[in-house]
Structure 1
Amino acid sequence: MHSDNEKTALLVMDIENGIVSRYAENGEELSPVQQAVAAARENNMQVIFVRVGFSEGYPEVNPRNPAFTRIAENGGMTLSDEGTQIHESVQPQENEPIVTKYRVSAFAGSNLEMILEALDIKTLVLTGIATSGVVLSTLREAADKDFSLKVLKDACLDGDPDVHRVLTEKVFPQQADVLSVNEWAETVN
């Protein structure tokens, strides 16, 4: 096993039914995410799933937050709702935490940082939907928390291909190694 693997966590972010249904029309778009999860598991690396979800009645939603106010008005995306469950293509295994966040960043209102600290994780490998949402926000916050970062560009999806390209080619490389799933998988064996 690669010596750094036990200090590395693969974050599978917002690959939940209610978000996948908006970005991935057929399951093919999730194939790189599935490959990344398989590579992490094969190499004894921690996999952590991150989802967004709210309590019944949406007490976490501030009326000044337009995006989350729309969710509260439309209903759904509560913790028990089908929309907030991890997509069947990447079902968590035992000992793979599911972290619930209440904003865009994986750290926002969640116990992610506590889990990473308890597991002595130093490097985060980011995947998720959307590149301009959870991936960008989590990358920025994780960089400020001094994590070593990798982004798996083909395991991130965004509604706007140009925004995805600019982030993965110009913005993310300032704070992270940006790789394809295959390039990354070769480094963890």
Structure 2
Amino acid sequence: MGLPVITDYAQPTAAELPKPRASWQPEAHRMALLVHDMQRYFLRPFQAENAPLAPAIANIAALIAHCRARNIPVFYTAQKGNQQRCDRGLQADLWGPGMSWAPEHEDIIEELAPRPEDHVLVKHRYSAFQRSNLETLMRVRGRDQLLVTGVYAHIGCTATLAEAFQLDIEPFIAADAVADFSRDDHLSALHWIARTCGVPMTTEQLLKAL
């Protein structure tokens, strides 16, 4: 129970990205960016200075800066520590009690820290849409595309993308701005997303398109 120890692995390259079923293209006037669960608690299993985490952080930072400069809304998810069992729900059965309310657990890392103009959503379940007003905040801003970055690719990132699709929001994942338990998990998530609900792209491709 709890998070595993994660071995270093290389981020996927453009040549490794699966071909998506969808032909959607990212558009700056329709896009919102989500920085998913980049809290210290979730990043502890990684070697911070190595891949996949170090390049993921650098790529997320580049996407945040790019989006802020173009008035693309930036959203963050962040869980609260010391959750009661009734609030944590079935996640407690799989992952244990989770984080405490200490800053070394709850804080979003400094390299990606939100600004006052950004939106920080309290995270309750795998999907960022669950028990949050993410959809409403996107709709009132005329946004119907969502770009997901962060951790973990095969869990919360994938769940969020799948729910976005079911809400008729076009989902994109920055394939080298996410990280996972293993490279197999990471690549499997990209393949599942490409086949069922979204478009994987590299950070370089996204920066050019946006």
**Bin of the TM-score, shorter chain as denominator length:** 0.7 to 0.9
| Whole-angstrom CA distance in 2 between matches of 1:52 and 1:19 | 10
Q: Which moved more, 1:29-38 or 1:46-55?
A: 46-55
Q: Which whole-Å CA distance do the structure 2 matches of 1:152 and 1:141 have between them?
A: 17
- Counterpart of 2:186? 164
Q: Cα deviations across residues 56-98 of structure 1 (Å, max 9, x unaligned)? A: 5454023674135x125xx51x4x6441221111111121000
Whether 1:12 aligns to 2:39 is no
Q: CA RMSD in A?
A: 2.2
More helix by share: 1
User: Which residue number in structure 1 is paired with residue 77 of structure 2?
Assistant: 50
Give the Cα–Cα distance (whole angstroms) in 1 for the partners of residues 87 and 152 of structure 2.
21
Instruction: Give 1:23 deviation, angstroms.
Output: 3.1
- Quote the residue 2:16 is aligned against: none
CA contact (8 A) 2:85 2:92 kept: no
* TM-fit CA distance, 1:104: 1.0
Task: Check conservation: 1:6, 1:46, Cα contact below 8 A.
Answer: no
Amino acid at match of 1:165: L
Aligned residues: 180
Find the counterpart in structure 1 of residue 194 from structure 2. Answer: 173
Aligned positions of 1:29-178 closer than 5 A: 29=55, 30-54=57-81, 57-62=84-89, 65-68=92-95, 70-71=96-97, 76=100, 78=101, 81-168=103-190, 170-174=191-195, 175-178=197-200
* 1:11 partner amino acid: L
Given that residues 52 and 102 in structure 1 are in contact (C-alpha distance below 8 angstroms), is that contact kept between their aligned partners in structure 2?
yes
TM-score w.r.t. structure 1 length? 0.85
Offset at residue 54 of structure 1 (A) = 4.7
Deviation at 1:177, TM superposition (A): 1.7
Identity of aligned residues (%): 19
